[in-house]
Structure 1
Amino acid sequence: MARFALRFSRPAAFAFLVIGALAQAADLPKVPSIEQSLNFSAPGSVRISPDGQMVVYTAGFANWEDNEFRTQVWLAKAAGGAPLQLTQNAKGASAPQWSPDGKWISFVANRDGKKHIWLIAPQGGEAWQLTSGEAEVQAYEWSPDGKKIAFTSSGAESKTLKDRKEKYGEYEVVGGDYTYTHLYVAELPAEVGGKAKAEALTSGDGFTVNEFSWSPDSTRIAFSAPKDVDLSHGDTADIYVLNVKDKGLKKLVDAPGPDSNPHWSPDGKWIAYETANGEPFYYFKNSRLAAVSAEGGPIRLLTSNFDEEPSLIDWTDDGIWFSGLQKTAVTVFLLDPKQGTYRAAFGDARFLPGTPSFSKDRRWMAFTGSALDDFTEVYLSPVAPFEPKALTSYRDQYKEFRLATSEVISWKSKDDTVIEGVLIKPADFQAGKQYPLLVVIHGGPTGVDRPYRAADRYYPVEQFAAKGAIILRPNYRGSAGYGEEFRSLNVRNLGVGDAWDVLSGVDSLVAQGMVDPERVGCMGWSQGGYISAFLTTGSDRFKAISVGAGISDWMTYYVNTDIHPFTRQYLKATPWEDPEIYRKTSPITNIKQARTPTLIQHGGNDQRVPLPNAYELYQGLKDQGVEARLVVYKGFGHGINKPKQQRHVMEDNLAWFTKWIWGEGQ
């Protein structure tokens, strides 16, 4: 199969342009190449040992031979020293956890064609496979007593479906063919190396299981479950409790809007969870934390006065831990469930913490984190006072390079709304000099850009900066971290208000004398691709634009996407009820005004922003005589998640803007 499909009016010229752009990169200040960026590793999925003395985590890597991004499991000691790589299999390993007694580290690996749970001693040695069979493991969790592991799985393919395929071949009944995820439990074998026998705890087509957690006494499991896997039915997710011994099931929360991520109180009497609290417009409104008795009863709202989306972490003797965005920062809070009050525990604009994992005595915690303008590392800290110590040194991968710097700036949009963004400057930036400007727009719309470092993906920012550009990453209206009112500002104003925020950011930098107004480009993926498409048809400010998996027509999007509620909530109507709002906010409406050369990149199997959006924009631009290039990545969904294709996405963007912003290779 071809790696990608190209449609371009001058393919020969573009081929020379790619080669020329990459050759030019050799003469630039020393920055990571695109392939080096894709090879850089970063830590994730951190768990601290019960005694607080060791931390297990995953680190990603690119397997070019198999064209996959994978992770391996690593172990770091609290006392320091070089981390130890525990897993070596080329297919990788993920989701490490500690057994409650600290004797074993579990992880998920696919070594025989199915994802199963494996165990390895923290001292290393041979891992052994715990689960087996057709029930492939998705998520899992040890019981607190260490005797069982619960996991979710979609199980084996049903006989009915097998028979249907044999008789009729492959087909899908839309809205009818669902694969349900259910809970299983595996008891630990008596002997090391033995296999655990998995037993299904739930079954049928009444619901599909999402997040779950064990009760402190290991007798019950709380879980969240919508009625099926259709993302348009996410608002049906409710909270259930299951008795593991007799499989007795009780629904505790039955309310409109999604209820998710249950966690038990230390005494086993209460369950905390995240809830939309019946809010019909939950895509952009604040969620809440709530608690319900483990036996059922009235709901207690816990965070009514928290103006952001709280993410529940854990419930300990100290209280309920949750995290929340605060502009470009992430803060971890501690909530008193009796008083309903909370305080910031750690995390601010100077340090961005990930989700903490606590030791058994709750004195120590481990997490990934980033200091301001630094890379992500694995950290260890006392719970109080907060004194993070890095256990890894992934930043050393970059020490030979001259990297760009970043800072948070702000400006006023057309309607006087204050917008923040991250401004990235070349390493040799000089005040008073005019630079080309490239705007990189995040997705979501509830994404957020922060002044922290990471390897480039999709857009080669370091390459752009080394060529002498400054880069603006705007947190346009709708971005998370700035409160519910800000997230609601693009409701029935999608594209329109977002474009104000981008254009006013450009204007602000031009007014400061920092930007050459004749050399400005724009790019983005998903919602960032939609805003880029809106700008390519509605503005002549840019010399070139790149649209990644972007929406061009809300009507086309609405009837094809897998998340129909998104459009109905943000536009507050279907296209049949209010065609005018769909017209107003669609880039294709202004196609006859389009003048900007546009690169379009899209996954061939994208269900979130289906491929017809790309073809519609491409053909509209071609009909206006606008230079356009469409690249369809065959077999990919909304994200381009393999290293070879990501390499092409970045090289294509580098070549496109090298041509139109720097005038090279024409």
Structure 2
Amino acid sequence: MMRAALFVPIFFLLMATANAAPIRKTVEPADLVNLKGVSGAQISPDGASVVYVVDAGDSSSLWVVTTDRKSPARTIAAGDGSETSPRWSPDGQTIAFLSSRANPHAADARFRFSVANADDRIDFHAKSGGDKDSMESDAKPGRQIWIVAATGGEATPLTNISGNVRNFKWSRDGRFLAFTRKDQETRAEVRSREQKQDQVVVDRVLKYSRLWIYDLSTREARLLTKGDTNVVDYDWSPDGTHIAATVSATPRTDDVENRLSVMTFSTESGKVDRTLPGYASERMIRWSPDGRALAFIQLAPTTDTGIPVLFDLKSGSKIVVGAGIPMGVGDMVWNEDGKTLTSLVLRGATYSLARIDAASGAVTDLGILEGAADKVTVSRDSRKAAFVEETPQHPGEVHVFSGSVARPLTDTNPQVASWNLGTQQALSWKSSKDGRSIHGVLLLPPNYDRTKRYKTIVHLHGGPVGAWTLGFHASWYNWGLVAASHGYVVLLPNPRGSSGQGPDFSAANDRDWGNAEFQDILDGVDLLITRNIADPDRLAIGGWSYGGFLTAWVVTHTDRFKAAVAGAAMTDLFGMATTTDIAPSFLDRYFGPLVSNRALYDAHSPARFLENCRTPTLVLDGEEDARVPISQGEALFNGLRFIGRETQMVRYPREGHFFDEKPHQQDSLERMLAWYDRHLGE
């Protein structure tokens, strides 16, 4: 009887445990850096399937999922290296992609690949042609174009050229593939390197990105562009006789980022037959199906703002998309009717899928997204669109949009369902400076208690023309989610200078970095204090890149914050302007010519105000950062250290502006959390 009596409560205890809510896991830095990445979603012409990339860190693979969700996702290309950039053929029967896998057919006489019209560079299986002959070589190829049937099977290589094939696109009739590749070493350069005579005169040896055209019937790649022509992005004309491209005069980063021209080339001769006025952004260029117009992002004369435009090639007229509307327009894709385009649009902190009228530039929302998305592709009938969207509760997954709703098709990181994430919401407030509307995102910790005030971190985005949106804020430099999971309230403000409210708002920090945004940020903090969300005695701040600059500016102009983390922070704008890889144009557009505006550069440099800093500051930098050289972080760290302020600097070997190595990503996250915990307490 005693055994029976014991059985009853134990039985009900087990039942209660089984029915209890699952225990949620606090998100740790290791969890973030081990997430698989989803990217490159491309919808098939008939809208029935989407091909996409899954990146596991040390390798990536290609997957296909049906848009009706009746079949599970399946792998179609997985090697021992990198499989990326899938592109459906125009008939939807095959998928071309880039792969770093070894080519088992390279030594097979039946595998044909030849190069024509090349210079005296090292190319594979080249034959005589053009101005000079290219020669056979033992050089090894990098990423190449491969092809696989849409139904699956063995993939076969198309190209076998030295170096890495980059951006490639099908011609609309499916007979050709265009691709870009950087110049390879000449034989003279190889001899100099082997003889240790490889000193470089700056700006003398430049490796251009060239445009090539590959003929699928002859298996020959022909060099199309030569001379001072560095091709960044491009698109085929509908009839295949021309290519429109964004082009810089040199491959220097400053020219690529700040001085891109839009040109059209003959695909037969490679000659430029038209150059459009003004400069473009590198992000995209799209030729309309009827051949009449080009869609691209034009660079504003001042600041780093992009203006979406439709350029009529016949009349030379230009339409600004969404003119006068406070929003940001992303990637634009022509619909097959040639009268409309599909685009992702950002308003404040919220994305929507939208339709653009080509005749007027008017923008009409098709549906609001739950989170953030980037590039979009559309089916031939324009009834379905596919993109990778991240939501507040899940990292990026393939979504299909039809009607007015986006539906997820994949679940690549199922472990996230067990994470203790908290909640987030879009937020807005008025700037006390001039009444402008400022938008942002608020992350609340799990089990948020309205009767309590919380330790709060202000996390500042990069750019300056960037923006926080609703989404999955979980990466080594976008760490709002992990901080919230550890009990913090996190405010993600979009002060003036951000995107999402139109070009005028993005340009509102012109010649006024730091000072322009300062009050917008503090007003957001004050809103949280007024609403009894933030504890005014436990405030912290941090950011990366331009967010690092703003962090350094804020802590040298107020002592309200108890801790700061400044990553890749600009601190001395004069030094930045003379050492960054985007000098001189980037800062010149915001502050004017360097020499004649030295006082203005100094007036907006946090390093000039270090004596005002009372906030313990952690400085994080990559030793190989060309964008914001490590000397900028050293100026902040050493300047604070020399005057006795609490500070610490961590240098990450081999890392550039954004970290690639997982141990470094994890370490930076752990140090960030430990720094805030130490100075804000429980």
| TM-score interval (norm. to shorter) | 0.7 to 0.9
- The answer as to 2:40 corresponding to 1:45 is yes
- What RMSD, in angstroms, separates the aligned Cα atoms of the two structures? 2.4
Q: Among 300, 309, 313, which residue is 1:289 paired with?
A: 309
Q: Is the 8 A contact 1:562 1:608 kept in 2?
A: yes
Number of aligned positions between the proteins = 614
Higher relative contact order (CA 8 A, sep 6+): 1
Equivalent positions of 1:150-229 (< 5 A) are 150-167=178-195, 169-189=197-217, 196-204=219-227, 206-229=228-251
TM-score, normalised to structure 2, is 0.85
> Which secondary structure state, in structure 2, belongs to the residue aligned with residue 389 of structure 1?
strand
Question: Could you tell me which amino acid in structure 1 is paired with residue 410 of structure 2?
Answer: T
| C-alpha displacement of 1:399 | 1.2
- Structure 1 residues 84 and 511: alpha-carbon distance in aligned structure 2, compared to 1, 3 A threshold: same
Question: Could you tell me which amino acid in structure 2 is paired with residue 252 of structure 1?
Answer: R
Question: Could you tell me which amino acid in structure 2 is paired with residue 536 of structure 1?
Answer: V
Cα distance in 2, alignment partners of residues 173 and 546 from structure 1: 38
Flag structure 1 segments of 5+ consecutive residues without an equivalent: 1-27, 64-69, 191-195
Name the structure 2 match of 1:405: 423
TM-score, normalised to structure 1, is 0.87
> Which secondary structure state, in structure 2, belongs to the residue aligned with residue 134 of structure 1?
coil
> Which secondary structure state, in structure 1, belongs to the residue aligned with residue 634 of structure 2?
helix
Between 614-623 and 40-49, the greater mean CA deviation after superposition: 40-49
- Structure 1 residues 322 and 569: alpha-carbon distance in aligned structure 2, compared to 1, 3 A threshold: same
Between 91-100 and 481-490, the greater mean CA deviation after superposition: 481-490
Cα distance in 1, alignment partners of residues 420 and 260 from structure 2: 48
- The answer as to 2:51 corresponding to 1:79 is no
Question: Could you tell me which amino acid in structure 2 is paired with residue 72 of structure 1?
Answer: S
> Which secondary structure state, in structure 2, belongs to the residue aligned with residue 616 of structure 1?
helix
Q: Is the 8 A contact 1:252 1:297 kept in 2?
A: no
Name the structure 1 match of 2:586: 566
Q: Among 87, 99, 103, which residue is 1:97 paired with?
A: 87
| C-alpha displacement of 1:287 | 1.5
| C-alpha displacement of 1:374 | 4.9
- The answer as to 2:82 corresponding to 1:60 is no
- The answer as to 2:170 corresponding to 1:142 is yes
Q: Is the 8 A contact 1:373 1:406 kept in 2?
A: no
- The answer as to 2:357 corresponding to 1:336 is yes
| C-alpha displacement of 1:391 | 1.2
Flag structure 2 segments of 5+ consecutive residues without an equivalent: 1-22, 103-140
Q: Among 372, 393, 406, which residue is 1:388 paired with?
A: 406
Cα distance in 2, alignment partners of residues 388 and 29 from structure 1: 27
| C-alpha displacement of 1:658 | 1.7
Cα distance in 1, alignment partners of residues 303 and 312 from structure 2: 20
| C-alpha displacement of 1:475 | 0.8
Name the structure 2 match of 1:320: 341
| C-alpha displacement of 1:542 | 1.3
- The answer as to 2:270 corresponding to 1:242 is no
Name the structure 1 match of 2:295: 272
Cα distance in 2, alignment partners of residues 430 and 250 from structure 1: 64
Question: Could you tell me which amino acid in structure 2 is paired with residue 33 of structure 1?
Answer: E
Cα distance in 1, alignment partners of residues 534 and 382 from structure 2: 51
> Which secondary structure state, in structure 1, belongs to the residue aligned with residue 202 of structure 2?
coil
1:155-205 CA-partner distances (Å, limit 9, x unpaired): 422234334434554433333332101111112257xxxxx332211122x
Name the structure 2 match of 1:31: 26
| C-alpha displacement of 1:457 | 2.3
| C-alpha displacement of 1:480 | 0.3
Q: Among 597, 602, 609, which residue is 2:616 paired with?
A: 597
Cα distance in 1, alignment partners of residues 398 and 648 from structure 2: 41
| C-alpha displacement of 1:252 | 1.8
- The answer as to 2:575 corresponding to 1:556 is yes
Equivalent positions of 1:446-461 (< 5 A) are 446-458=465-477, 460-461=479-480
> Which secondary structure state, in structure 2, belongs to the residue aligned with residue 578 of structure 1?
helix
- Structure 1 residues 405 and 623: alpha-carbon distance in aligned structure 2, compared to 1, 3 A threshold: same
Cα distance in 2, alignment partners of residues 598 and 352 from structure 1: 31
Q: Is the 8 A contact 2:209 2:231 kept in 1?
A: yes
> Which secondary structure state, in structure 2, belongs to the residue aligned with residue 233 of structure 1?
helix
| C-alpha displacement of 1:558 | 0.8
| C-alpha displacement of 1:229 | 1.5
Q: Among 252, 263, 268, which residue is 1:230 paired with?
A: 252
1:424-449 CA-partner distances (Å, limit 9, x unpaired): 11111111201111111110111111
Q: Among 364, 373, 385, which residue is 1:365 paired with?
A: 385
- Structure 1 residues 171 and 633: alpha-carbon distance in aligned structure 2, compared to 1, 3 A threshold: farther
Question: Could you tell me which amino acid in structure 2 is paired with residue 40 of structure 1?
Answer: L
Q: Is the 8 A contact 1:423 1:471 kept in 2?
A: yes
Equivalent positions of 1:15-30 (< 5 A) are 30=25
Name the structure 1 match of 2:136: none
- Structure 1 residues 155 and 582: alpha-carbon distance in aligned structure 2, compared to 1, 3 A threshold: closer
Q: Is the 8 A contact 1:370 1:377 kept in 2?
A: yes
| C-alpha displacement of 1:464 | 2.6
Name the structure 2 match of 1:122: 150
> Which secondary structure state, in structure 2, belongs to the residue aligned with residue 45 of structure 1?
strand
Cα distance in 1, alignment partners of residues 479 and 224 from structure 2: 47
Q: Is the 8 A contact 1:238 1:251 kept in 2?
A: no
Q: Among 355, 363, 375, which residue is 2:375 paired with?
A: 355
Structure having the higher Rg: 2
Question: Could you tell me which amino acid in structure 2 is paired with residue 60 of structure 1?
Answer: D
- Structure 1 residues 604 and 372: alpha-carbon distance in aligned structure 2, compared to 1, 3 A threshold: closer
1:204-234 CA-partner distances (Å, limit 9, x unpaired): 2x21011111122233222221111123224
Q: Is the 8 A contact 1:289 1:312 kept in 2?
A: no
Cα distance in 1, alignment partners of residues 479 and 293 from structure 2: 48
